[in-house]
């Protein structure tokens, strides 16, 4: 449980409090300057309003890493992700030639098996202990980006054959599967312990071998191959308990055809050909959420312009990378700092926020690994200017860990430049900040955070401002 601490507070306004302690001394300024005293005050009880917003369109195509799986989250309900992929030709697949007498002869091949292999990159969200399942299906339409879009989004999908090309039940071992990954091209390499493998429909594999033996152009040219096999979709089982992350580089997801040579000196020799899932603008992740099992009605947010106040969600605000959820923060009375004393200035301003107690752990629901960013926004919840820190570079969060009392750990931002800008230029009624994971990670990140913002809690969202006042 958290330990609560006290700050001696002197009321500044009904919504604002300034506190003076032994650490903040009153300094007399010489007569040659001005006959006034200067105080340094710590002001940390601004009214801060929070809400959750959700982006309408979260781009998920053209990424090197993708998400796949399904799990149950007590705050977000059931989160699931399917992956639509283009299967590359992997180079020309042609018959080998051998010398027979004075002639060169092509060696035909016999189909052995067709498998799909994937190697998680070590990142995951959820419980890896139960048995997981996935199936692979053939997409029945050509995957093309519409003219009015720049890519595919978390809600995008294509029709596919309900009958699977193959399926697999497996125990997720994302870290060991990644560490044991092998690039060795040996026909008899044992892959069951290296990645997630499942057998695919023999008819597809036999058709590919038939085209190889017939020297069909489909198996020689990428454009013809992609018309033959539009793409595949990997679908997670309904009862899965974990979401896995994959990096598409270095051939860590592929369709592999095993075959045997049937003539001449190569007769009986086994080999294989890999059809890689390559990083492509046509690959994308489809992320779905079912909030019905969660205590907070997060599906109330149906439009990007809507705010779901923390007062309606148990004084909590939410961030979720895959779902495109962001936390909106408003500091409605920030400009009143200008009314403190005759003149004044901000030495430092720090925004602090705390993960909700018992909303995370070290195994299943880990804290985000990426730093958070802050953007200015308006009543339409548009992402506008990114905040900069005191050094002039983009502001990013700092995680301050309390090892003795983990639940007292918090995130902080240097928002000095932002506060000074508001005091210098004024504040509009709709001015607010959007707290988010890096924009480039939205749609392909499993990271999530539940932020506490109960008004009478020591662990609410705080703006801690060190202010110099001339009385």
Q: What is the pLDDT of residues 57-76, one digit of tens each?
A: 899 998 888 899 999 999 99
In a shared domain, residues 201 and 313: no
The mean pLDDT of 95-106, rounded to a whole number, is 89
| Domain final residue, candidates 228, 263, 289 | 289
The mean pLDDT of 250-271, rounded to a whole number, is 92
405 compared with 324, residue with greater pLDDT: 324
372 lies in some domain: yes
Per-residue pLDDT, 274: 94
344 compared with 180, residue with greater pLDDT: 344
In a shared domain, residues 39 and 146: no
| Coil/strand/helix, residue 433 | strand
In a shared domain, residues 394 and 453: yes
In a shared domain, residues 30 and 69: no
Q: Structurally, how many domains does the chain consist of?
A: 2
297 lies in some domain: no
341 lies in some domain: yes
42 compared with 236, residue with greater pLDDT: 236
Q: C-alpha angle 171/174/179, rounded to 5°?
A: 125
Going along 158-204, which residue ranges are E strands?
A: 166-171, 196-199
In a shared domain, residues 28 and 138: no
Give the residue numbers spanning the domain of 100: 65-289
pTM metric for this prediction: 0.84
Q: How far is CA 214 from the centre of its chain?
A: 45
Band of the pLDDT at 177, cuts 50, 70, 90? low
In a shared domain, residues 349 and 440: yes
Q: Of 84-93, 401-410, 428-437, which range is least confident? A: 401-410
Q: Which of 255, 287, 262, 312 is nearest to 453 (CA)?
A: 312
**How do residues 108-163 score in pLDDT, each as one tens digit?**
999 999 999 888 888 899 999 999 999 999 999 999 999 999 999 999 999 999 99
In a shared domain, residues 347 and 426: yes
Torsion angle of C-alpha atoms 100, 105, 111, 112, degrees rounded to 10: 30
259 lies in some domain: yes
φ/ψ (deg, to 5) at 209: -65, -40
Per-residue pLDDT, 9: 32
At 153, which helix (H) or strand (E)? none
- Helix residue ranges, H only, 90-246: 174-179, 202-213, 222-228
In a shared domain, residues 268 and 321: no
The DSSP annotation for 47-107 comes to: --EEEEEE-S--B-SS-SEEEEEEEEETTTEEEEEEEEE-B---S-----EEEETTEEEE-
Per-residue pLDDT, 343: 65
**Are the C-beta atoms of 323 and 78 separated by less than 8 Å?**
no
């Amino acid at each position: 449980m958290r330990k609560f601490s006290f700050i001696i507070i002197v009321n500044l306004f009904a919504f604002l409090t300034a506190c003076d302690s032994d650490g903040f001394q009153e300094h007399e300024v010489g007569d040659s300057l001005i006959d006034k005293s200067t105080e340094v005050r710590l002001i940390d009880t601004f009214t801060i309003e929070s809400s959750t917003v959700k982006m309408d369109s979260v781009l998920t195509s053209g990424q090197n890493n993708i998400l796949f799986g399904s799990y149950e989250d007590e705050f977000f309900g059931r989160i699931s992700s399917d992956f639509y992929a283009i299967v590359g030709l992997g180079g020309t697949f042609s018959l080998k030639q051998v010398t027979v007498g004075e002639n060169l002869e092509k060696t035909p091949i016999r189909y052995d098996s067709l498998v799909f292999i994937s190697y998680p990159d070590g990142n995951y969200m959820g419980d890896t202990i139960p048995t997981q399942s996935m199936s692979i299906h053939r997409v029945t339409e050509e995957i093309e980006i519409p003219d009015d879009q720049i890519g595919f989004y978390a809600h995008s999908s294509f029709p596919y054959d309900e009958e699977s090309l193959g399926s697999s039940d497996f125990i997720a071992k994302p870290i060991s599967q990644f560490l044991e990954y092998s690039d060795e091209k040996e026909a008899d390499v044992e892959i069951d312990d290296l990645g997630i493998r499942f057998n695919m429909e023999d008819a597809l594999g036999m058709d590919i071998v038939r085209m190889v033996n017939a020297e069909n152009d489909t198996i020689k040219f990428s454009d013809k191959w992609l018309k033959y096999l539009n793409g595949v979709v990997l679908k997670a089982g309904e009862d899965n308990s974990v979401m896995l992350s994959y990096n598409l580089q270095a051939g860590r997801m592929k369709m592999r055809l095993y075959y045997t040579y049937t003539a001449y000196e190569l007769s009986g020799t086994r080999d294989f050909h890999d059809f890689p899932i390559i990083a492509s603008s046509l690959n994308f992740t489809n992320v779905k959420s079912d909030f019905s099992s969660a205590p907070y009605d997060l599906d109330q947010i149906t439009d990007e312009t809507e705010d779901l106040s923390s007062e309606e969600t148990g004084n909590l605000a939410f961030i979720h990378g895959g779902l495109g959820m962001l936390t909106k923060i408003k500091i409605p009375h920030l400009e009143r700092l200008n009314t403190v004393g005759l003149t004044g200035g901000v030495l430092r301003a720090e925004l602090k926020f705390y993960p909700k107690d018992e909303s995370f752990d070290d195994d299943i629901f880990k804290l985000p690994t990426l730093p958070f960013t802050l953007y200015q926004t308006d009543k339409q919840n548009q992402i506008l200017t990114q905040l900069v820190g005191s050094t002039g570079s983009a502001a990013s969060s700092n995680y301050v860990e309390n090892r003795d009392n983990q639940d007292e750990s918090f995130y902080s931002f240097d928002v000095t430049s932002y506060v000074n800008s508001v005091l210098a230029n004024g504040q509009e009624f709709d001015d607010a900040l959007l707290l988010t994971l890096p924009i480039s990670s939205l749609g392909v990140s499993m990271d999530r955070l539940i932020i506490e913002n109960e008004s009478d809690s020591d662990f609410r969202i705080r703006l801690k401002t060190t202010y110099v006042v001339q009385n």
